[in-house]
């Protein structure tokens, strides 16, 4: 039996595992950026496509991972004339290319720490894990939703106050014209107007909370959508390229509708009410008279 095919199968399996590891690494990088964008904090910006030892680099969380001059020192120079360090052979060789040992130094048996560090940084760059800058994000804190709520209160309450002022003026005019400015009718109508105003204030406060809740829902939906895109593409840039427009939309103040007339004309019907009241009082006086003709309170003369 021939077992030569096993090596190829293992190579393919190892390749698939490596690709999945790279995919998960890119997803983690994108998730770090999404957390900073939505929760607030620092994230890496401007992904590097290659490594330059003269540039400072950051990770996806905005932490410095390399700064110029931070690489391990190069291997020491050989003391034997004509000898040099060979990375290919992993140690010092003489002028003829023969590997040698030098007094005072140990001959490396593999890549130096400097080489390993450089290669690791190159690998990070190829996986989109190196960034040449950072960016601070405000995120969507409770204060953001409070501002959305307050924006509606600042929009609607002045309109309600304007309507209240108009309703009070109309009520006072109607009461004065009907001669009931200091009557129980006036007290009742003024109390009703105050109740209507308080009720509308509560409705405005409820609507303001709805605005804040809608903003919170919109942020959550966008975050979920970007997360799904990241998991599907394993490409952080596919997410970050959309962030600018999305943030502008989410942070904008909604267009509110003007407040409808919610306080009815408090003075309407007061004149008619006064006339009805007087007519009813007259009927009661007449009825009282005929029930008790000798009453001095009657105003009708019995012929």
Q: Which residues pair with 41 in a beta bridge?
A: 137
Q: Is residue 249 part of a domain?
A: yes
CA angle 86, 91, 92 (to 5 degrees): 75
Residues 154 and 192 in one domain: yes
pLDDT of 104 > 80? The answer is no
- Residue that is last in its domain, among 139, 164, 195: 139
Residues 183 and 131 in one domain: no
Residues 130 and 187 in one domain: no
- Span 92-121, average pLDDT: 69
Q: Is residue 275 part of a domain?
A: no
pLDDT of 303 > 60? The answer is no
Long-range contacts of 279-288 (CB under 8 A, 24+ apart): none
pLDDT of 302 > 50? The answer is no
Residues 130 and 150 in one domain: no
Q: Is residue 299 part of a domain?
A: no
Q: Is residue 94 part of a domain?
A: no
Residues 135 and 159 in one domain: no
Domain tally, the chain: 2
Each residue's pLDDT tens digit, 205-222: 999 999 999 999 999 999
Residue of higher predicted confidence among 102 and 43 = 43
Residues 155 and 133 in one domain: no
Confidence of residue 287 (pLDDT cuts 50, 70, 90): low
pLDDT of 78 > 60? The answer is no
3-state SS string over 128-163?
Answer: CCCEEEEEEECCCCHHHHHHHHHHHHHHHHHHHHHH
Q: Is residue 197 part of a domain?
A: yes
- Span 19-28, average pLDDT: 90
Residues 214 and 165 in one domain: yes
pLDDT of 291 > 70? The answer is no
Each residue's pLDDT tens digit, 238-272: 888 888 889 999 999 889 998 888 776 665 555 54
pLDDT of 300 > 50? The answer is no
pLDDT of 11 > 90? The answer is no
Q: Do residues 91 and 85 touch, judged by C-beta distance below 8 A?
A: yes
Give CA–CA dist 296/212, Å, rounded.
69
Residues 127 and 212 in one domain: no
Tokens of 121: 């940084």
Residues 14 and 135 in one domain: yes
Q: Is residue 283 part of a domain?
A: no
Q: Do residues 236 and 30 touch, judged by C-beta distance below 8 A?
A: yes
Residues 216 and 132 in one domain: no
- Residue that is last in its domain, among 139, 165, 198: 139
Confidence of residue 298 (pLDDT cuts 50, 70, 90): very low
Residues 155 and 263 in one domain: yes
List, in order, residues 6 or more apart from 270 with CB less than 8 Å away.
171, 174, 175, 177, 178, 180, 185, 189
Residues 188 and 164 in one domain: yes
Q: Is residue 41 part of a domain?
A: yes
Q: Return the number of other C-beta atoms located less than 10 Å from residue 185's C-beta.
A: 18
Q: Is residue 282 part of a domain?
A: no
Give the domain extent around 171. 142-268
Q: Produce one character per residue of 105-125: b if its CB has 16 or more CB atoms within 10 Å, e if not.
A: eebbeeebeebebbeebeebb
Residue with structure tokens 């290659």? 50
The pTM of the full predicted model, rounded to 2 decimals, is 0.68
Q: Do residues 28 and 120 touch, judged by C-beta distance below 8 A?
A: no
Per-residue pLDDT, 197: 93
Identify the CA nearest to 23 among candidates 117, 131, 121, 128. Answer: 128
């Amino acid at each position: 039996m021939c077992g030569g095919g096993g090596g190829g199968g293992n190579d393919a399996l190892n390749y698939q595992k490596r690709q999945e590891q790279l995919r998960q690494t890119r997803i983690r990088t994108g998730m770090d950026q999404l957390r900073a964008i939505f929760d607030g904090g620092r994230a890496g910006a401007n992904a590097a496509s290659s490594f330059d030892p003269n540039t400072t680099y950051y990770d996806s969380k905005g932490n410095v991972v390399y700064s110029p001059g931070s690489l391990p020192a190069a291997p020491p120079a050989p003391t034997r004339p004509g000898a040099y360090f060979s990375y290919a052979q992993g140690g010092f060789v003489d002028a003829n290319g023969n590997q040698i040992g030098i007094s005072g130094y140990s001959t490396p048996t593999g890549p130096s720490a400097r080489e390993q560090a450089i290669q690791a940084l190159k690998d990070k760059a190829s996986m989109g894990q190196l960034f040449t800058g950072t960016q601070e994000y405000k995120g969507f804190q409770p204060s953001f939703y409070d501002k959305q709520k307050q924006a509606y209160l600042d929009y609607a309450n002045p309109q309600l106050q304007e309507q209240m002022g108009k309703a009070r003026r109309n009520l006072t005019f109607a009461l004065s014209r009907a001669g009931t400015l200091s009557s129980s009718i006036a007290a009742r109508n003024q109390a009703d107007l105050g109740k209507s105003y308080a009720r509308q204030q509560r409705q405005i406060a409820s609507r303001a909370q709805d605005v804040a809740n809608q903003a919170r829902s919109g942020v959550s939906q966008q975050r979920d959508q970007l997360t799904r895109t990241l998991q599907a593409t394993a490409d952080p840039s596919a997410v970050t390229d959309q962030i600018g427009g999305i943030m502008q939309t989410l942070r904008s103040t909604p267009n509110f509708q003007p407040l409808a007339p919610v306080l009815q004309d408090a003075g309407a019907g007061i004149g008619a009410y006064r006339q009805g009241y007087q007519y009813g009082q007259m009927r009661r006086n007449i009825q009282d008279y005929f029930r008790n003709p000798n009453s001095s309170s009657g105003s009708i003369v019995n012929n």
